[in-house]
Structure 1
């Protein structure tokens, strides 16, 4: 959705100020993974109107990474995203590639900038075949894509180094950018609210009527505060020095006092009438922006309705237009949304399940290489730091227990931290792992829980949600015959079990049909069944799971961890991957755990 339309829609419903976050491109693969996790957490806890991602000055690999980040945030995380795009070292061909990548991912928002000179270059010069000014880039985007993109441009409330003493010329340039097709203005950081308000008055007097969005820079440490202010050449009011200089060596106190100063600035801007939205430069940090929003009482409350794409399903819906029909997902990728989206990225818009999921509507899943170079989304070094060098199944089970209890945020097969949904069955999960039945994925039973429930709720208001108990786990092969004997004629406990070689055992009489394990009933709507268990997708997940184990083993080989190598090979050779669904979602009896405890 276009930013200007989104902000206008909010203002028609509420007077509450809105906000957004800016992130920059990390320089390492692990940094990218950490940023995805941070973006996701911050979005869930704060619900910004949008996020934006900077463009790396100078082009090159990190510029390509910008488009990758935008695609992932739109397609996997379901976040409304704005992509920075600069003219620096960017011929038209590369600009075309970036714009088309953004369009295909569903991104409808571009912040069009001239950009800073590349490193080691004193002055800014256009690249051959590129653009001289941001207004040229704006006009090019508008001419090529019409109204598809919302285009933002930069504003400089305290002037620009290249137009010192000539603020009228700078405003003329801003007007030219808006006249060329810009829809909103995001400003450079500043700390002097009075100067900003005077600038707003001059902007409006110039006939510029698009939204003015102030760029807000949190204060985290004294050194960073001075460095960023000096780098942007912004005026620092004396009050800031008076309050921060005496405590400059106490980072925690600087952040507390600095947050109060920034909040005072934000309130002045909002009270001015020129501003209704704050754009926070996060510097890829989490705590400082959240402190500002919390103290300003801008964080969402439990009873506030969420945006439709957040509320309608228990998993956040992708904003990629190719996936607009997707309303059903297999539960196996519940903790691995990145690989699921990658493996289904080649499906056509008509192939995504819309209310049903079965062989007739489920094409073959993509190859594993669609998920990238590695299926474990942690670097080799980080993997060792997180999971050490297990030498027994007890060690692996303990890793899972640590994950269940919140001591670990990730496992090799779980890319996302666990939420509180597991609390209802936590003792049973811990007990199974202590018995060396290593759990992989689970969900508790629900019978008519209100859709507004803070943990289990999803979907439109005034509805009810339901879940069948589901458990996925690793079981020693020698115990599989006993499990099958227990379940072969059971119609309520249905299961699939598969080993590394693809040998499938099941008690499903018709394993080709999907089994809905989550559904919701809402006023005036068909029943939604967004999460299912199904054979084709389980076999695809099995390939991925054992491939993850192979990659984990390879990391141990590379680090000469012989005992861990033997252990992972033992897991691959001698364990089966099993899922069980308890189709009786009403009975209080915990049949799955009772059964496994007896095996």
Structure 2
């Protein structure tokens, strides 16, 4: 059975919404957006952890003001029973402190916690608009000594994700991979988001793949069930991260 983790955005009312829609004990990932900062992420993560969820807060390097704040973040996580974070560079235009990349943050997290905090890092099956493919692989090779796993950017093609994992293995990256999949969200919103974050090519691929795949885009809402089944059919994927965009109705079950 392939486990599913749900990603949420830390907005007003989201803790109550999770409590109503997601079974206690499930894994929840909490984003860190530039206009929110790290505070709402940590508060939401702590509240969900107290309710019995397995929580992974995002820590965006560009939102961290310095080593002292990072130490407090990690101490707060430990006090809340949180044993894993997700380290990313972040989308802020300018760093708030000395951390500009996820790699820099990862090293200090390992140093502060003595390697006791599990840390996920990002993967990009369709590439990154500002970093070439070779640099992305080299970064993962550098990170894998300290990281606990890879969570991929949202993608709509099982073949693209499987090919990405196979390429990582050929290059010597052996971290577990959690595949990023969009949740059951309104189709218009999904297409807009996909274009903004640069994953439109796999959405186009999906629309051309055939009747079975095109059914995912029929109607008003996108449905991820078929994609999740395709990902589970072949080895190499260790879990699914469902990008919910806080649309928590009709969540798929582990397969």
Give TM-score, length-normalised by structure 1.
0.39
Kindly report which structure 2 residues correspond to 1:42-441, keeping only aligned pairs within 5 A, or say none.
Answer: 42-44=21-23, 48=26, 50-57=27-34, 60=37, 63-75=38-50, 77-92=51-66, 93-117=68-92, 121=93, 125-128=94-97, 130-163=98-131, 166-179=132-145, 181-234=146-199, 235=201, 236-240=203-207, 253-255=219-221, 258-259=222-223, 262-288=224-250, 290=251, 292-293=252-253, 298=254
Deviations 1:179-214 (A, max 9, x none): 3x0001111001122121111111111222121000
**Could you say what secondary structure the match of 2:178 adopts?**
strand
| Structure 1 gaps, min length 5 | 1-15, 300-599
Residue 70 of structure 1: SS of its match in structure 2?
A: helix
1:25 touches 1:65 (CA, 8 Å); kept in 2? Answer: yes
* 1:191 match: secondary structure: coil
Q: Return closer, same or farther for 1:245/1:239 CA change in 2, 3 Å cut-off.
A: closer
- Over the aligned positions, Cα root-mean-square deviation in angstroms equals 2.5
CA contact 2:71–2:112 (8 Å) conserved in 1: no
Q: Deviations over 1:208-253 (max 9, x none)?
A: 21210001102432311211210121112444268799998x8xx3
Tell me the secondary structure at the aligned position of residue 156 of structure 2: coil
Q: Distance in 1 between matches of 2:133 and 2:21?
A: 37
**Is 1:23 matched with 2:8?**
yes
- Hey, what's the Cα distance between the residues in 2 that align with 1:145 and 1:225? 37
> Matches of residues 441-480 of structure 1 in structure 2 within 5 Å?
none
Secondary structure of the equivalent of 1:173? helix
- Compare relative contact order (CA 8 Å, sep 6+) and give the higher one, 1 or 2: 2
Q: Residues 231, 189 of structure 1: CA spacing in aligned structure 2 closer, same or farther, 3 A cutoff?
A: same
Q: Against the structure 1 CA distance between its residues 275 and 167, is the aligned structure 2 distance closer, same or farther, given a 3 Å change threshold?
A: same
Judging changes above 3 Å, is the alpha-carbon distance between structure 1 residues 176 and 216 closer, same or farther for their aligned structure 2 residues? same
Per the alignment, do residues 268 and 139 of structure 1 end up closer, same or farther by CA in structure 2, a change over 3 Å counting?
same
SS of 1:44's equivalent in the other structure is coil
| CA drift at 1:127 | 3.4
Aligned residues: 250
Q: What are the Cα deviations for residues 278-336 of structure 1, in whole angstroms up to 9, with x where unaligned?
A: 11111112214x2x32xxxx38xxxxxxxxxxxxxxxxxxxxxxxxxxxxxxxxxxxxx
Larger Rg: 1
Cα distance in 1 between the residues matched to 2:216 and 2:31: 32
Change (3 A) 1:160 1:205: same
- CA offset digits 1:455-499 (Å, max 9, x no partner): xxxxxxxxxxxxxxxxxxxxxxxxxxxxxxxxxxxxxxxxxxxxx
